[in-house]
Amino acid sequence: MKILLLDGSPKAQHSASAHYLRAMEAFLGGQQTLLWRDARSFDGAAVARDLLDQDALVIAFPLYVDGIPSHLLVFLEAMEKSLKEHQAAARVYVLCNAGFFEARQTRLALEMMKIWCEKSGLAWGKAIGIGAGGMALAAPIGSGPFAKLGKELQTLAGLVLAGQSDHDCFVEPDFPRFLYKTIAHFSWRSQARKNGLSGKALHRRHSYVPPARHAPAQAPSNP
Amino acid sequence: MKVRLLIHDLDEKDERQLKYAVPESVILFSAKPRVKPCVGCFGCWIKTPGRCVIKDRCWDSPAMMAAGRELILVSRNVYGGFSPEVKAVLDRSIGYMMPFFRYVGSEMHHTARYDNPLTLTAHFYGEGISEGERGIARRLVKANAVNLGAEGCQVCFHDSLPHLKEALL
C-alpha cells in the first residue's frame, strides 16, 4: 500500500505535526511504501502529481488563528488546481493540533479540510483534532497522558490500511487543564527570561502611527 | 482619534478605487503581495513582545490592529475561510494577544495585550460560495472575534467583486 505523509507545519524542527506523523509511521508498520512530503519545501502541484498513484494521504498541521496556516493554504490551493486536471483516488486522513487545551477548537480547520477534499475530488477518511499541542513532545505517544491519543492513532492507521472512513474524533491528553495552563505560563516567562526579557516586558504595548493614505506600509528601517 | 483598519487582498486597481472612496480614518493594508508566512517561532510573544520578528511591512500589524476601533477583513473565500494573503497577515498578528491563557466560557483563549474595544467585520467574496462554506465562515469570524477579545462581529458574503465594491464604496 502506498501512503503519502504530508507535514503541514512551518517548523522543520520541534514540530508536533511531524511527531504525530512519525507515530503514524510506526503504527502503519514497515510493510507499506511511505512517501514523506512537507508544505514548507515542496510545491503543492508537484505533491498532487505524487498523490496520483497513492492509496492514502495523511496530513498533519497546527491550528493557526482558528484555521489552516497560510503557507498550507497556498499549498492546498495548488494541489486542488492540479487535482482538478488529474484525478487522484487517495483517501484523506487529517490530524490537526491546537495549542489550546480543547481539541474541539480544531473543528473549523477540519471542516475547511473537508471542503478542500470535496473541491479536489478526494474521499474523506477521518480527522483527529488534538488539544494541548504545546505538550505534544512532553511524553511518548501511547503512554502516560497520551495513551488515548496512541489508541486513536492506531485506530486511524487501521482505517488507512483498510481504505475505510470513520467519524472524526477529538482527543485531549489525560492531564489536568489547569495544570497545562499553569505550566504554559511558567514556560512563556522562562523562555522570555532566556531571551533577556523580564516578565513585565511580555506585556509590552506599542503605539502605531498610520502612514499617509497613499503610502504603503513599510518594513522598519531600524527596528 | 480611533481609526478603522481594513485588511484586503484586492488587486492594485481595486485598491486604488478604495483609497479614494473610503474616509481618511480608514487605514488600508493590502495583503498583496503576500507577506511571509508565520513560522511558528512565538518570537512575537517571547523575543519582541507585540511585534513580529520578521522585519517586513507586516512586522507591526498587532499595533496597527490596536489602533483601530474596527477591524475590517476583505477576503476571497477559500474553503470557508480567508485567502492565503489575508490569513498570512492574521497569522503574523497574534502578538495582538498575549501568550497567556484565559477562559471564555468553557474554552481556553489568549489574554488581551491591549484594552481595545474592537469590532470585527469580514467580507468574503467569490463565485458560488456554498452554504457549507458560509456556515464555516460565520463560525470562523465569531471564533476569531472571541480570540481577539472583540466586542462584536459581522460577516457579509458577495458573489462577485463588483458586488463587494458596491458594498464597500
Distance between CA atoms of residues A70 and B90, nearest Å: 9
How many folded domains does chain B comprise? 1
The answer as to whether A139 is a domain residue is yes
Structural domain tally of chain A? Answer: 1
Assess if residue A188 is contained within a domain.
no
How many C-beta neighbours within 10 Å does residue A214 have?
A: 9
Residue of chain B whose Cα is closest to the Cα of A205: B50
Domain assignment present for residue A32? The answer is yes
CATH number (domain holding residue A156): 3.40.50.360
| Residue A216 falls inside a structural domain | no
- Report residues of chain B scoring pLDDT below 70: 1-2
| Distance of alpha carbon B166 from alpha carbon B169, whole angstroms | 6
Under 8 Å between Cβ of A6 and A58:
yes
Which CATH number goes with the domain that contains B110?
3.40.50.360
Q: Which residues of B touch A195 (CB under 8 A)?
A: 46-47
User: What confidence score (pLDDT) does residue A102 get?
Assistant: 98
pLDDT reported for residue A31: 82
Contact call for B38 and A101, based on CB within 8 A: no
Check CB contact under 8 Å for B87 and A77.
Answer: no
A56: which 3 cell numbers?
Answer: 492514502
3-state secondary structure of A133: helix
Q: Is residue A61 pLDDT above 80, yes or no?
A: yes
Three-state DSSP state, A210: coil
Q: What percentage of chain A carries pLDDT values higher than 90?
A: 85
- Reported as a single tens digit per residue, the pLDDT across A135-177 is 988 889 999 999 999 999 999 999 999 999 999 999 999 999 9
For residue A96, being part of any structural domain is answered with yes
Q: Which of A110, A50, A62 is nearest to A86 (CA)?
A: A50
**ipTM of the assembly?**
0.96
Grid cell at residue B12: 492594485
- The parent domain of residue B92 ranges over 3-168
Mutation choice for A interface testing from B27, B101, B134 by most A CBs within 10 A:
B101
Question: A74 lies in a domain?
Answer: yes
Answer for the pair B62, B43: CB distance below 8 angstroms, yes or no: no
Kindly identify which residue of chain A lies nearest to residue B115, measuring between CA atoms.
Answer: A205
CB under 8 Å to A136, separation ≥6 — which residues? A16, A19, A20, A97, A130
A108 contact partners, CB below 8 Å, separation of at least 6: A66, A67, B80, B81, B136, B139, B140, B143
Give residues 51 to 110 of B whose Cβ lies within 8 Å of A: 51, 55-60, 62-64, 66-67, 78-85, 87-88, 90-91, 94, 98-101, 106-109
pTM for the structure as a whole: 0.96
Does A187 reside within a domain? no
Query: For residue B75, what are the β-bridge partners?
Result: B124
For residue B72, list its beta bridge partners.
Answer: B6, B121
Domain holding A49, by residue range, is 2-176
